[in-house]
A and B are shown apart, each in its own frame.
Chain A
Amino acid sequence: MSKREATAVGRNTISGRILMAFIERIERIRDQKKQLAEDEKLVFAESAATGFDNKTIRNVLRRRAAKPADVEEAESMLDLYLHAIGMATETPLFRSVGNMSVDLAARDEVIEAFKQLVPTEGEIIVKIGKQPVRLFRDENGVAQAEDIIEKPTAASKPASAVTSRPKRDVPDVDRLGARALGATAYRENQPITSNPFPWDDERRQEFDGGWREASGTDGMGPEDD
């Protein structure tokens, strides 16, 4: 500094001094910038040490610095390009559909977008989000949307249970005949559970009784001696 001062002072002109003042101010600012850049580096180092990803932080900083409209435009352009070359993971429409359940505005946007896809004959039912939406065209060909309220389906008896048990041939006998059948079953060494009558047939107990009478037991094996 003393050398420059010496020359400037040595010229001893007014413009020389003013110029010198400007140069010194810029030099000071540059020093400060250097100092601030160092500080920024330190902050980044600190965040990295805490475990954050600096690349992402820089990304966020860039996004925060940009105007929201610019960010949106850039993103939709990126989506469009990626989609065109087959690299898109999720189209904007689907992303909006995903937002439907949380964002009412997104829901309206999706409904508007889907309205353009509604075929002339047929309808689209979108069932993402909390409330399913039915999209259809009215008689004038104008796309319409309406919420579907799901009604619980009426409980129907499962048909398979009826067919799951093969119907056995029930002998055509009266109560006495059923009793005789039970006795015959015992003599032919058939178990007491070979009863051919269904549960609600009163002949079932007659068969059981006939078997017990013929065997002299209660049907649960021989009695104590």
Chain B
Amino acid sequence: MRHPLEAFGPVLMPDAAMEPILAKPVRAALLEWLEEIWAKAELEEVGLNARMRAIFTGPPGTGKTTLAHHLAARLGLPLLIVRPEKINCRYMNASAEAVGKLFDMVAAQPEPIFLFFDEFDSIAAKRMGSGVNETIEQDHNVTINALLAAMDRFEGFIVAATNLGSRVDEAVWRRFEIQIGIDLPGPHERQRIVERYIAPFVIPKAALAALAHSLETASPALIRSFCEHIKRQIVVGPKAGWPMDRNAVIERVIATVKPHPDIGLPRLWSLGLKDKAVPQFPWPLERDLAAYPVDEPVSAGGDVVPLRRGRSA
């Protein structure tokens, strides 16, 4: 059955949530927030309110939406992902009206809704007064003012995510009680992301660590894309008659999956097949760790670089 709020974007139920993969300080902050929400009654006794609003900033593909969904699922609430184009309307004043309508509808629901604004900078960009296009600027300012007023009367959970935190209006930003920056994953998170997306295949621990090291500065979305391309090659490659040795497959994958030029090139991409994670990458991939040969070269000596001076390799 269609949820009435789906006029503003998809509504996700708690049972479809995934675990977010996050760095330690962020995880601690989030767990603290969850505990705080659950301790609402005790906080009220000492005259405090539980914080209800958070804004996540960080580069694209770092799992902000996954995180919001996980939080909503931990609390047991449906998550409404508000789509910016449902708020920004083509007519004068209609955007402000849509903001008011959204908050009124959410408030009228019998159970709370976890309100999630994705790409928040497109809704809550700074108010403008350049005078270059006064009508549009005024309409935008009216929308932001409506948003501020709506946020002040709203008593539920609001989470917003944006790539460009600096573009969000200051007054809107101030109304979020928690501001969390979600950065690119660290080495440990990268290992976990590879594990998740390479499944059902598994990679031995040493090779996994080497791969995670070579994937430094990669976003979760890029790592996911890399893993999925490898799996796709395993399925499609033999049918297409491509060479299926390790180097050929990895070369094809890194040729078709590339990070955004501004994010920085992980080592696997800059070195290509010369990267030391490549010879350690188990091939063919197995679904069980026990299936890999025991005498697989261990990474302990992996850093030895053969001398090439005076000799053509």
Contact = CB atoms under 8 A, between A and B. Distances in A.
B86 to A, nearest CB: 17
Interface string A163-193: 1110000000000000000000000000111
Interface in A1-50: none
Nearest to A196: B76
Contacts, number: 79
B31 interface: yes
Interface of A: 155, 157-158, 160-165, 191-195, 197-199, 202, 204-205, 208, 218-225
B22 interface: yes
A193 B30 CA distance: 15
Which size bracket describes the interface of B in this complex? 35 or more
Among A191, A195, A199, A225, max chain B CB count under 10 A is at A199
Interface of A is mostly: loop
Interface string B99-142: 00000000011111000000000000000000000000000000
Among A164, A192, A208, A225, max chain B CB count under 10 A is at A164
Interface in B4-39: 4-5, 13-15, 17, 19-22, 24, 27-28, 30-31, 34-35, 38
Contact of A220 (B13, B27, B110, B188): B27
A195 B13 CA distance: 13
A65 B232 CA distance: 84
A155 B75 CA distance: 29
Given A161-B4, A205-B38, A218-B27, A193 B112 contact: no
B276 interface: no
Contacts of B28: 218
A165 B78 contact: yes
B14 A193 contact: yes
A220 B14 contact: no
A155 B108 contact: yes
